[in-house]
Each structure stands twice: as C-alpha cells, then as structure tokens.
Structure 1
Amino acid sequence: MHLDIHHEPGRVRIALTPGEGEPVTRKGGLARHTASFTVTVAPRGVHPDLLVLSAVLCARPWIRRQTPVTSNLAGSPALAAALASGPGLRLGSVDPTLAPRPRPEPGVPGLCFSGGTDSVATLAVMPESTRSYHLLQRAPEGERRATMFDTRAAQESCEVVRRHGRRVDVVDSDVEYLRASMGFPHDFTTAVPLLLHADRDRLDVIAWGAPLEATYRLQRGHYRDLAESPFVAEWGPVFAAVGLPVCVPVAGVSELVTSRIVHTHALGAAAQSCVRGPRLGSPCGRCAKCARKTLLAGAVTGRWPSASTLERQWRGAEPRAHLLADPIKVEPVIAHTVHRYLTDGGDSTVLRLVADKVGPDPLPWLSRSFDPALELVPQPYRDEVSDRLHRVAPSMSPAEEQVVRDYDVRGEDRRAAQQALVEWFEAHPPQERWSRIRGRARRESRARARLAREAARRLLPGTRARAGQ
C-alpha cells in the first residue's frame, strides 16, 4: 500500500494506492481511493507520525502484512517499530533522523467522541479539561450512495456538550465512503480527528468510551483478558509511540453503569446511541440498539413501557435477530434488564422467554466497578477518574471480579429455551414486509435529499473559501 498524504489549509487529504496482491475486496471492498478530513491546524503543524498513523488507520483493511506501507511522508523509527510489534505492519518509509512525537508535559486528555451513551459517560468521568473530537460523516462530491445513518443527532449532542463549557471539535470527513459497504474502515479510524489536532491541543492521552462488555469481550459471551485486547496488545504500543497512551475510563463498568451516569449527570442530555434517529432525543426506535437502550432506561429509572410496546419493538427484524443470536450480543446487560423488568412486575411473554434463555440475573457484579480495568487510565488522570467512577459504581469484591473472569455462556445447553424463543417469534412476525420496504425507501430518499442539499450548499458563493480557512 502506498499512501499519499497532503496537508493543505483547512484539510488533510489521503490517497490510497494498493500494492500488487493487496486485498481490495476485503471488508466490503475498497470503493474509493481518497479520503479527506477538515482540520484547523496550519500545514506543517502536525507531526509526520500523526499524519502517517492517520493514513494507516484509513487504509488498514486493505494492507497486507507482508507488503510494506510506503508514503510520501516518512515516519519515525519509533512508529515503525510499534507498527511492527503491535498490528504487525511494515512501514517502508522511515526517516532515521525523525524523533517521535513526545508526550506533552503538562498535557490535556483527548476523547474520540460519538455522542452515544458510553461516550458521554466517559466524558462525564474525565477531567473537565478534556477535549473531544467527533468524526462527522460527509459525502464526497458526486457520491450517490445513501445511508440510513443520520448525523443530526450527533451534531446536536456536540452542541449540548459545548453549552456545558466543554471543548468539542467536529471534523467533517468522507472516510466512511472508502468502503463499498459504507462504514469506518477500522475500529480506530475514529481516532483520526484527534490525531490531526493532537499537537495543536497538546494532547497526552487518547480516550474512547468502551465499557466492560466490549473491552473484556463479555458481549461475545465469554471473558477475554485485557492484555489481549486490541486496545492494549495491537494498537496500544502504536498510540504510545506518538505520545498518546490509550485511556479507556469506563472499561471496568457495564452499560448499566454508563446508562446510570447519563441519567444522573448534567451531560446526560447529550447522549443518544441510535445513529438513525433524526434528532437528539428522538431515536429511531426500530434498531436493536434502541431496543436494548429501552430496557436499560427502564432498569435505571424503574419506569417501563407497556408489555405490548416492548414486544412490538423486539419483534422488529433487527431486534429479534439480536435475541435469537447465541450468545446474545451484550448478554449480561440483556440478562439483568429482563430480570429487573420481571421483578418490577412486567408481564411480557417474550422477555420471560429471554430470561429463561439467559439464566440468572448477574446484577451483583454488573452494577459495580471491575477495578483492574483502571490500569487502562494513564497517570496523571487515574485517581480522578477512579474517584468519579466509584461514586456511581463501588469496587467489586475479589469474588465478584472472579465471576467476571469466569464468565462464559458458550458451553451452556440452552436448546429448549432457544426453541421456545424461536417459536414465539415465528408466531409473532415483524411488521408487514411491504410496510418495511416502504419505510426503508422513505429513509433512503430522505438521505439522498440531504446529500443533495449538502452538495448545493457547497456550491454557494463563499462556501469553498470558508472550507479552506
């Protein structure tokens, strides 16, 4: 893979040229060969390692480990060594005289901000000096592909955060259009806005809002040691090589705790995990994430929708696939919330069947903090983050920590409960097929209309000049 990186006023552009034999069909295929990001940093104001790493994170799915990554910008030997020891990539353009980017002292923490529940909860427990960076999807000129994702709620979330006196940079980018099946090329592509502004803002850590279920892989049905996580094993050394050790403040608490934080903290008004809802406070209500967040809100507040409302939501095509998977994604959370619902007097038949499938309520440890995860909060921020987390989620006991380590539902015999759940869904199909098709067509039509309006705005006098400032 060859990467051409150009930092011009107001923008960083990255061009990808795959090498011979590189897998351009991987991860849905490479549909475009260029991506750009808006920046408010003057050219030559970004360390070369930050630019090279940003480009690698855009191109990662289509890079063969056996093929060196070359670039018109050379990286430092420290970055090359970290890429080789972590994700196993060979950086072919290296300047032996280039010193790595140092970690600023004193520095400022940076957060890759999505506007979702876990992201807002992370911001709430981080120092008030934290700066957030949101990657905003923008279609490139001439692009005809549409998506059901709606960016307006996330932009409103950033405005709420600003009104609370926090600093947020919104970085427009078309990077999600690199893939034929649109989306971020790599999990850590969301770090690029932060990387591009790290020197300007003297950032000394890079943070994400990943909770216990994700960092320890419980959402896949079993425990995985943190040391084996991509945060630590693969990309931890790479980010550290550019002076940005990884920081995951909520790694030791579950979605139940992050939901509790956003329901009680002033910043909670900024949280919306649904990426299809047209407005902040108006999630789509149809996706699996919305269905799960409905249960979480009920578990935190004690206020539940009617059984018919819950069942109508879970009967949708995406939510039902979520419950029929084995293990269920984020199963500990599903297990607790359905048991809490039934304990509070809920009478939904499908949720009772889910409770039979998932087994006992894991609440004794789910509402507490798995403190070994605090190792993923670098100094000098660990004590402050720990104090704020423990106000909401007390530390687990050693026995509860061991329950987390022993968590594994993969070998359980749940055939009878699974069959009962399958039979219920067969008897209660999702909304009529043509209605779903019409709804999807309407959403895609609206998405195309938004693209057309954005393209028209770019043609207005003065728009291009402002974009280049």
Structure 2
Amino acid sequence: MHLDITHEQGRVRVGLVPGEGEPDERKGALARHTATFEVGVEPGAVHPDLLVLSAVLSARPWIVRKVPVTTSVAASPALAQALREGPGLRLGTVDPHLTPRPRPMDGDGAPGLCFSGGTDSVATLAVMPARTRSYHLLRRAPQGDPRATMFVTRAAEQSCALLRAQGWPVEVVGSDVEYLRAEMGFPHDFTTAVPLLLHADRDALDAVAWGAPLEATYRLQRGYFRDFAGSPFLGEWGEVFAAVGLEVCVPVAGVSEVVTSRIVHTHPLGAAAQSCVRGRRLGRPCGRCAKCARKTLLAGAVTGTWPDAAALERQWRGLEPRGHLLADPIKVEPVVAHTVHRYLAGGGDSELLRLVAAKTGPDPLDWLDRSYEPALALVPERYRQEVADRVHRVAPPMKPSEEEAVRAYEVRGLDRSQAQADLEAWFAEHPPQDLLPRATGRVRRVLRARVRSVLARRR
C-alpha cells in the first residue's frame, strides 16, 4: 500500500494506492481511493508521525501485514518500530534522523477525547479534567457520491454546539473517510482518533481518550471477560499512540452503561447526549433502533420511570432490536439482563421482558452500579485521581468479590434452548411493526442522495 499524504490550507488528504497482493475487495471493498479531513492547522505545523499514523488508520483494512507501507511523508524510526511490534505493520518510508513527537511536559499538556455525542462519550467528558479538548469526526459526503445512509449527523453537530455553549472546546472535523468502504462506515475503530491526531501539536495534547464503558472495554457485551491488556487499545495500538506522545486514556472503562446513563441524567452536560445516530435532531432519537430500545431500559433503570408494557414491546419488536434479543449471547447482555430485572422487580408486566429474564437467568449483576477499580490503570497517572474522584461520586468502588464476579463473567455455551425457543415463539406471534417506516425512510434517503449527486454535478 502506498499512502499519498498532502496537507494543504484547511485540509489533509490521504490517497490510497493498493499494491500487489492488496486487493481492493479485502475486508469490505475499497470503493474510493481518497479521504479528506478538514483541519484548522497550518500546513507544516503537524508532526510527520501524526500525518502518517492518520493515514494508516484510514487505510488499515486494506493493508496487508507482509507488504511494507510506503508513504509520501517519512515517519520516525520510533513510529515504525511501534507499528511493527503492535499491529504488525511495516513502514517502508522512514527518516532515520526524524525524532518522534514528544509528549508535552506534565502541566503543559491536555487530554483529548474522541467525541461522538453518545451517552458514553458525554459521560466520559463529564468525568475528565476541565481542560479536556474534544474532537468529533463529522461525516461529509464526497462530491457526486450517490450512496445513502441511515445515519443523520444533525444530532451530533447540535451536541458539539451545546458543549461549546457550556465552555468546552470542541473541534469538528468534516471528512469523507467513511465513504472509502463500499459498505459505509469507519475503516477502523481508531479512525475516530484522526481529528485528534491532526490537532495534537496545535493543542498540546498528551493523551487520547475514548468513551468505552465496562461492557465494551472488557468484552462483557460479547458474553465473556477479556483482560484489557489483551485488547487493541493496549495490546496492538497502545505503544503506537505512545510513540506520537499520546497515552491511551479510557476514563469510564470501569463503569457500566448503567452508570454512564446515570451520569448524563444528573450532569449539566447530559443534554448533549444522544446515542441514536438515526434521530433527526438532538433530543429526538428515532425510537426504532436497537440503541434506542436499550437506552429506554437504561433510562427506566436510572429514573425508576418506565414506559408501559405495550410501548416497550412495540420498540423491541423492530427488526434490529429483536435481532439483539434473539442473539446468544444477547448483545450487551449484562445491561439488558440487569435492566430487565429492575423493570420486573418494580412491578413491570411485559410478557416479552419476562421471557428475556428467563433467558438471561437470575440477575447477579449488582456490580453494574459500581466501579471496577483495576480499570483506573487505564487513565494516565497525572489524571487518575481527578477522574477517580468524579467516578466515585456516582459509582462507589466494587468489593473484591464483585471484581471477581466481573472477571468470572461468562455466558457463552449455556444451555438456554427452552428459553430461546419461547422467545422465538413470542416474536413469531408478534411481527415487526416498523417495516413501513423503514421502507419509507430508505426511499427518502436514496432520493436525498440522488438529489445531492445531481446538485454536485451541476456545480
């Protein structure tokens, strides 16, 4: 793979030129060969390693490990070594005299947050130091591209505006990087860090943070516990980010979605949170996607106020939400199980949620209301106490037995055949009610994309 990197006034452009043995269709087809990022940094004011790492994170799915990556901008030996030892990528363009980007001295730097506008992201900002700067990667359709998407960016833009109104610095970076893939989306989980990387020198950043809660950080949402040391955050990419002067920071790694939901319900920043990416604007989630269904349960668990059974069941009958409940393990099962049991304990009478509770078994998950203390090691030491104090205000530390319950969490391979059959039978008797709205929305998105393409050609 050759990566052609250019930094012009107001934008950084990455051109992807696959080499021999790097087919375009690998890992989700490369539909386009250029990605552009809007930046507020003057050309020449970004360390070469930050440019190279940004390009690599944009092109990662189509890079074959055994083939060296060449770049139009040379990287330092330190970055080349970190990429080789972490994700196993080989840089073919290295300047032996280039010194790596230094981390700002303690007290001079600031942490940066890859900000999405979702509940976990807003909760993360709420527990981080006041000098934290946020960076949002905003999807921009490339000129003339007719592809449609279900995602709506307005809510995230409004979330960033609300943060600014409360005095939090936010950099919104428009980019068409999600259009590189034929099936649109971020090329890599860490592509969301590119806006932060491109502004790290200007803003003296010393850490890169994500809003990944307990379930995502430790893989509990997949039905088992995985030590964070073996995750891509540290195992593959931790030393890569360190090579460009940025320590990995995951402030809410020790608390569940139950706690992050509690934070946004009680913090002034809470109004900026909306996890649904299909809602037309902030405060108006679509109400039909799986995230909306799960967040409804979380809101009920936090506030003690629940929709009636018919409303809950109508939401979970949708094609996507039902798929999450029928999966085994259920997607983000710890949260679903815990909130469903809270609902039933409060007198809820939904037949569907009783069947879900039967599938997940008794609720042993009181630890979801507490903080898993080993996760604080994922916060740089200079910020650790401040973050811990804020987390503990809403989630006291777990007892040793509760920490052990987290590490012992495992629901894969359980015999739940009868409960699964009962759940499938219920859904067979209650088909989705959102088919017409989904079809109408799909037509509307396609028409908007075609109009956008026609207007672009006329320009």
Query: Structure 1 residue 444: deviation in Å?
Result: 3.7
- Cα distance 1:402–1:279, how it changes in 2: closer, same or farther (>3 A)? same
In the alignment, the residues of structure 2 paired with residue 282 and residue 308 of structure 1 have an alpha-carbon distance, to the nearest angstrom, of 20
**Correspondence for 1:291:** 293
Q: Normalising by structure 2, report the TM-score.
A: 0.97
What does residue range 105-124 of structure 1 map to in structure 2 within 5 Å? 105=105, 106-124=108-126
In the alignment, the residues of structure 2 paired with residue 451 and residue 201 of structure 1 have an alpha-carbon distance, to the nearest angstrom, of 36
Which residue among 345, 349, 352 is the counterpart of 1:347? 349
Flag structure 2 segments of 5+ consecutive residues without an equivalent: none
Residue 261 of structure 2 corresponds to residue 259 of structure 1: yes
**Correspondence for 1:327:** 329
SS where residue 137 of structure 2 aligns?
Answer: strand
Residue 73 of structure 2 corresponds to residue 96 of structure 1: no
Q: What one-letter code is carried by the residue in structure 1 that aligns with 2:36?
A: S
**Correspondence for 2:424:** 422
In the alignment, the residues of structure 2 paired with residue 64 and residue 335 of structure 1 have an alpha-carbon distance, to the nearest angstrom, of 40
Flag structure 1 segments of 5+ consecutive residues without an equivalent: 460-469
Q: What one-letter code is carried by the residue in structure 2 that aligns with 1:179?
A: R
**Correspondence for 2:248:** 246
Query: Structure 1 residue 287: deviation in Å?
Result: 0.6
**Correspondence for 2:5:** 5
Residue 439 of structure 2 corresponds to residue 437 of structure 1: yes
Query: Structure 1 residue 350: deviation in Å?
Result: 0.5
- Cα distance 1:360–1:450, how it changes in 2: closer, same or farther (>3 A)? farther
SS where residue 199 of structure 1 aligns?
Answer: coil
- Cα distance 1:434–1:253, how it changes in 2: closer, same or farther (>3 A)? closer
Query: Structure 1 residue 362: deviation in Å?
Result: 3.4
Q: What one-letter code is carried by the residue in structure 2 that aligns with 1:324?
A: L
In the alignment, the residues of structure 1 paired with residue 454 and residue 344 of structure 2 have an alpha-carbon distance, to the nearest angstrom, of 48
Q: What one-letter code is carried by the residue in structure 2 that aligns with 1:59?
A: A
SS where residue 5 of structure 2 aligns?
Answer: strand
In the alignment, the residues of structure 2 paired with residue 221 and residue 315 of structure 1 have an alpha-carbon distance, to the nearest angstrom, of 23
Which residue among 359, 362, 367 is the counterpart of 1:360? 362
**Correspondence for 1:464:** none
Q: What one-letter code is carried by the residue in structure 2 that aligns with 1:326?
A: D
**Correspondence for 2:161:** 159
Query: Structure 1 residue 24: deviation in Å?
Result: 1.8
Which residue among 203, 227, 249 is the counterpart of 2:229? 227
In the alignment, the residues of structure 2 paired with residue 398 and residue 229 of structure 1 have an alpha-carbon distance, to the nearest angstrom, of 23
Contact 2:60 2:187 survives alignment (8 Å): yes
**Correspondence for 1:74:** 74
Q: What one-letter code is carried by the residue in structure 2 that aligns with 1:328?
A: I
Q: Normalising by structure 1, report the TM-score.
A: 0.95
Query: Structure 1 residue 438: deviation in Å?
Result: 2.7
SS where residue 135 of structure 1 aligns?
Answer: strand
Residue 99 of structure 2 corresponds to residue 85 of structure 1: no
**Correspondence for 2:395:** 393
**Correspondence for 2:239:** 237
Query: Structure 1 residue 433: deviation in Å?
Result: 4.3
Q: What are the superposed Cα offsets for residues 6-33 of structure 1, whole Å, 9 maximum, x if unpaired?
A: 0000000000000101142123200000
In the alignment, the residues of structure 2 paired with residue 450 and residue 272 of structure 1 have an alpha-carbon distance, to the nearest angstrom, of 26
In the alignment, the residues of structure 2 paired with residue 120 and residue 437 of structure 1 have an alpha-carbon distance, to the nearest angstrom, of 32
In the alignment, the residues of structure 1 paired with residue 193 and residue 104 of structure 2 have an alpha-carbon distance, to the nearest angstrom, of 18
**Correspondence for 1:318:** 320
Q: What are the superposed Cα offsets for residues 367-406 of structure 1, whole Å, 9 maximum, x if unpaired?
A: 1000101111002101100110011100011110000000
SS where residue 172 of structure 1 aligns?
Answer: strand
Q: What one-letter code is carried by the residue in structure 1 that aligns with 2:415?
A: D
Query: Structure 1 residue 449: deviation in Å?
Result: 5.0
Query: Structure 1 residue 361: deviation in Å?
Result: 1.6
**Correspondence for 1:50:** 50
- Cα distance 1:125–1:452, how it changes in 2: closer, same or farther (>3 A)? farther
In the alignment, the residues of structure 1 paired with residue 187 and residue 284 of structure 2 have an alpha-carbon distance, to the nearest angstrom, of 28
Q: What one-letter code is carried by the residue in structure 1 that aligns with 2:339?
A: T
SS where residue 353 of structure 2 aligns?
Answer: helix
Query: Structure 1 residue 441: deviation in Å?
Result: 1.5
Query: Structure 1 residue 432: deviation in Å?
Result: 6.8
Contact 1:335 1:362 survives alignment (8 Å): no
SS where residue 41 of structure 2 aligns?
Answer: coil
In the alignment, the residues of structure 2 paired with residue 295 and residue 452 of structure 1 have an alpha-carbon distance, to the nearest angstrom, of 42
Q: What one-letter code is carried by the residue in structure 1 that aligns with 2:361?
A: G
Q: What are the superposed Cα offsets for residues 194-238 of structure 1, whole Å, 9 maximum, x if unpaired?
A: 000000000000000000001100000000011101101000000
In the alignment, the residues of structure 1 paired with residue 23 and residue 343 of structure 2 have an alpha-carbon distance, to the nearest angstrom, of 47
Query: Structure 1 residue 139: deviation in Å?
Result: 0.6
Q: What one-letter code is carried by the residue in structure 2 that aligns with 1:280?
A: L
In the alignment, the residues of structure 2 paired with residue 290 and residue 16 of structure 1 have an alpha-carbon distance, to the nearest angstrom, of 36
Identity among equivalent pairs (%): 74
What does residue range 367-382 of structure 1 map to in structure 2 within 5 Å? 367-382=369-384
In the alignment, the residues of structure 2 paired with residue 452 and residue 374 of structure 1 have an alpha-carbon distance, to the nearest angstrom, of 51
In the alignment, the residues of structure 2 paired with residue 275 and residue 200 of structure 1 have an alpha-carbon distance, to the nearest angstrom, of 30
In the alignment, the residues of structure 1 paired with residue 316 and residue 71 of structure 2 have an alpha-carbon distance, to the nearest angstrom, of 48
In the alignment, the residues of structure 1 paired with residue 96 and residue 277 of structure 2 have an alpha-carbon distance, to the nearest angstrom, of 44
SS where residue 426 of structure 1 aligns?
Answer: helix
**Correspondence for 1:282:** 284
